[in-house]
Structure 1
Amino acid sequence: MHDLIYGLGALAGWIAFTYKVNHLRQDWSNTALRAMVAAFVFSAVAFTLTVGPVYQPIDAALGVPNLTKLFIHSSMVLFSVCVLHLLAFWQYPAPRARQRARVYWAVGLVVVAAMSALIVIAPVHDEYTIHFWKTHAGETLMLWYLVMFLVALSAGLLAIAYRSWRFAALTSELPWLRRGLRVTALGALISFGYCVCRGGYLILTSVDIRVDPLVDIAQPFASVGQMVFFAGLTMPSWGPKTRVDQLSAYRALEPLWSALHDAFPEIALHSPADGDSIAVGDVNYRLYRRMVEIWDGYLALRPYLPASAASGSGEPAETARAIAEGLRNRQQGHRPATVLPDRPPGVRDNELTWLVEVSRSFATVRAAELDHA
């Protein structure tokens, strides 16, 4: 049963890796997507090495009993580092995300180095045992080793659950991205059940209470959690709205976004110079960020919009003309001092369709301005 449970987790990891590496081939410069693929690899390697028919030959080839456990646990720590790296690109502009990623990797590598030192000097290499936790968790050096492992893994899982759920609340216009983020959060929490069970076992063992079933109960949490987690991260590409449709909408928003970005560069989470890095959902997430940034630009432009924008119907063509006039007013330093709502009147329920129409009308207005210039 142990090999079946972890074998399913390994299979899910390699499927997710194969699926996303195809996207990575098309966008190798995407730092966040590289972090996602790396997370899949580390998780898949960890689960693969845990399967008995794989674990035993590798452990025998190393010539040091139980040393393979270090590779398994280190892979899971590095998996959590990749997740945190990924989260940084969800939340922050690329330069700041890179700074945070460097910190995460530094801490992760220090943890792996400390774990390596502990397991090398710990008295766990006399004979091979498949029941590693039950046999060695009560030893002082191994207790510290396993605590560091669980803390690092828990940090990554809880962070991704929080960040995924938070972003899901902001993606109403992209239902498959929203579903994927919620499933990702669920998978991370299920996986955290592994840490809870194993952590509880360590706590009880430290006070001389043995509850060995906790070690076994943790296994399905790990495998099922990872399968749900991987499904969530790949789900945005499953929806009936194809990547071509999403990419078409993304490109249609370019004229409006570019004009607002030129006027207010601070609206961009990722600047064009950073390759428009994205994290989850590829085009879905890119499209979501562009919509958010357009609204941020509109809010920044409000003091310069004409009075007609407050009393108009909010039709796309009318809104496009108001934005074009507002940009001219800003360039000329003219502020009509009109109090406007956060969003123009008449915005339809399908916000994405409305924004695409506004952007296309805006492109027409700008083209007419150039013709008369």
Structure 2
Amino acid sequence: MKGPDYYIPAAAMAISLVCKLPALRTNWRDPLLRSVCFLLLLAGAVFTFAAPPTIEAVNRWTGIPNFSAPLVYCLMTAFSASCLVLVFNWRGGPAEEIRHTSLRWIAGYSVVISAIVVLFALGSAPVERLVDFDTYYANTPYIRLMIASYLLAHNVAVMMMVSMCWRWSLQVCGWLRAGLLIIVSGYAISLAYDAAKMSAVAARWLGHDLDFLSTLVAPPLASAGALVSSVGFVLPLLYQRVSDSWRTWSTYRNLGALWQEVQSTAPSGTPGVRMSWWSPAEIRVIQRESDIHDGFLRLGPCFDRRHRDTAYERALAAGADEETARAVADAAMVAAAVTVCAAHPEAAGSEEDQAEQNRVLLTADGPRDLVRISHALRHSPLVAAARRQAAPAGG
């Protein structure tokens, strides 16, 4: 593999990390989000520093032949630990238990990282090797222990990931299960990487030459395994983000009928809150709900519980469930109040004066589902009937 074969996956990881940074700034205390960002950072660093051009540059900058070898091994070991920590946080459970488990694995892999640094310092690797360091120094005192340490640590992490993700996938469904199965596939490829590397090193120990497994077979497997695993990590989280956004925009759109109904009673010249086109959907929903509640306050003097009670009884008689009947009843009372208010604008009071009257609608029998009320306002014939009944009273 050449430089671009390493830098392209590193760029993909960097782009994913940049997309996550805004969320990280606002939710720094979220352990799952921190774990995802740290994993993407380490994955990008592994590919960047494992590229032969970067290896050569780092060796030249430090003035130490093969300085890149322990650096890459340490990054790979830290990446292995970050994968385990991410799965622990992703799977969920008691926060204290997750924290203790994560700390134990981090401590264990920190010991391996320290051992890699110490063993490299004790060993001797004077000849620079850009692509075949593992096999070239497989029989060198201390260096061979360093190589074995990072390969063993990586292999343990890979097997743990395959085992945990497979067991977890049997307990869930949907996009989460698909993501876990993709992760299992990616780490199965990583197992093949470990097998190729270990076979090449073991062959050197036994006096044979299988260096091509380390230099030609293992690198593409490492790249493929990391990319496939990253897709598995990102896919469920991306689906959750898209799903949440879709639900929020749907709520905003579904509130439109109720919002337009109560806004029609707003005094002329009332300044509205202008939302920029890039305003988040969550802010738009909050603002629309606030406008609706303000409209309820204005309509307080015009609310007639008789319209509500009549629509409620008719909805139940027509076979509607309790929640739907309540929504239809509230929508009927709102529609009738708007009709009356339109005929007699002076009937509407100030928000402060009518807060007590409005409390009947907002808090009696629990909070109302505004989306259900909006849907009933648009589609229920009982609401249209209440509007017609209120029209004569309004003139």
Shared topology, TM-score over 0.5?
A: yes
Show the counterpart of 2:203. 204
Show the counterpart of 2:228. 228
Q: How far apart are the structure 2 equivalents of 1:30 and 1:119?
A: 36
Mark the CA change 1:139 to 1:27 in structure 2 (over 3 Å): closer, same or farther. same
Mark the CA change 1:20 to 1:369 in structure 2 (over 3 Å): closer, same or farther. closer
Task: Quote how far apart the aligned CAs of 1:185 are.
Answer: 1.7
Show the counterpart of 2:270. none
Show the counterpart of 1:186. 185
Q: What secondary structure sits across from 1:140 in the alignment?
A: coil
Show the counterpart of 1:108. 109
Q: How far apart are the structure 1 equivalents of 2:87 and 2:13?
A: 19
Once the two structures are superposed, residues 239-283 of structure 1 have per-residue CA deviations (whole angstroms, 9 ceiling, x without a partner) of 49522246799xxxxxxxxxxxxxxxxxxxxxxxxxxxxxxxxxx
Task: Quote how far apart the aligned CAs of 1:231 are.
Answer: 1.1
Once the two structures are superposed, residues 6-44 of structure 1 have per-residue CA deviations (whole angstroms, 9 ceiling, x without a partner) of 223322322332233343233211112212211221121
Amino acid at match of 1:213: F
**Contact 1:16–1:230 (8 Å) recurs in 2:** no
Mark the CA change 1:367 to 1:57 in structure 2 (over 3 Å): closer, same or farther. farther
Q: How far apart are the structure 2 equivalents of 1:189 and 1:74?
A: 22
Q: What secondary structure sits across from 1:87 in the alignment?
A: helix
Task: Quote how far apart the aligned CAs of 1:45 are.
Answer: 0.7
**Contact 1:46–1:71 (8 Å) recurs in 2:** no
Q: Which runs of 5+ in 2 are unaligned?
A: 251-319, 323-362, 368-395
Mark the CA change 1:32 to 1:243 in structure 2 (over 3 Å): closer, same or farther. same
Q: Which runs of 5+ in 1 are unaligned?
A: 250-315, 319-365
What TM-score, normalized to structure 1?
0.63
Which contiguous aligned blocks of 4+ residues in structure 1 show a shift greater than 6 angstroms? none
Once the two structures are superposed, residues 134-157 of structure 1 have per-residue CA deviations (whole angstroms, 9 ceiling, x without a partner) of 321222322211111011112222
Q: How far apart are the structure 2 equivalents of 1:245 and 1:45?
A: 34
Amino acid at match of 2:104: V
> How does 1:263-302 map onto structure 2 within 5 Å?
none
Mark the CA change 1:80 to 1:171 in structure 2 (over 3 Å): closer, same or farther. same
**Contact 1:13–1:40 (8 Å) recurs in 2:** yes
Stretch moving more, 7-16 or 68-77: 7-16
Amino acid at match of 1:212: D
When the two chains are superposed, the root-mean-square deviation of aligned CA atoms in Å is 3.0
Show the counterpart of 1:368. 365
Q: How far apart are the structure 2 equivalents of 1:247 and 1:56?
A: 50
Mark the CA change 1:107 to 1:367 in structure 2 (over 3 Å): closer, same or farther. farther
Identity of aligned residues (%): 22
**Contact 1:12–1:230 (8 Å) recurs in 2:** no
**Contact 1:168–1:182 (8 Å) recurs in 2:** yes
Mark the CA change 1:247 to 1:195 in structure 2 (over 3 Å): closer, same or farther. farther
Mark the CA change 1:152 to 1:178 in structure 2 (over 3 Å): closer, same or farther. same
Q: How far apart are the structure 1 equivalents of 2:6 and 2:364?
A: 59
Task: Quote how far apart the aligned CAs of 1:317 are.
Answer: 6.9
Q: How far apart are the structure 2 equivalents of 1:18 and 1:67?
A: 29
Show the counterpart of 2:156. 155
Show the counterpart of 1:324. none
Mark the CA change 1:369 to 1:234 in structure 2 (over 3 Å): closer, same or farther. closer
What TM-score, normalized to structure 2?
0.59
Mark the CA change 1:168 to 1:245 in structure 2 (over 3 Å): closer, same or farther. farther
Greater Rg, structure 1 or structure 2? 2
**Contact 1:157–1:192 (8 Å) recurs in 2:** yes
Aligned residues: 259
Q: What secondary structure sits across from 1:39 in the alignment?
A: helix
Q: How far apart are the structure 2 equivalents of 1:208 and 1:317?
A: 79
Show the counterpart of 1:133. 134
Stretch moving more, 112-121 or 12-21: 12-21
Mark the CA change 1:159 to 1:18 in structure 2 (over 3 Å): closer, same or farther. farther
**Contact 1:9–1:224 (8 Å) recurs in 2:** no
Once the two structures are superposed, residues 171-197 of structure 1 have per-residue CA deviations (whole angstroms, 9 ceiling, x without a partner) of 32xx22222222122112212221111
Q: How far apart are the structure 1 equivalents of 2:224 and 2:92?
A: 27
Once the two structures are superposed, residues 37-76 of structure 1 have per-residue CA deviations (whole angstroms, 9 ceiling, x without a partner) of 1122112111101212222122111111111111111011
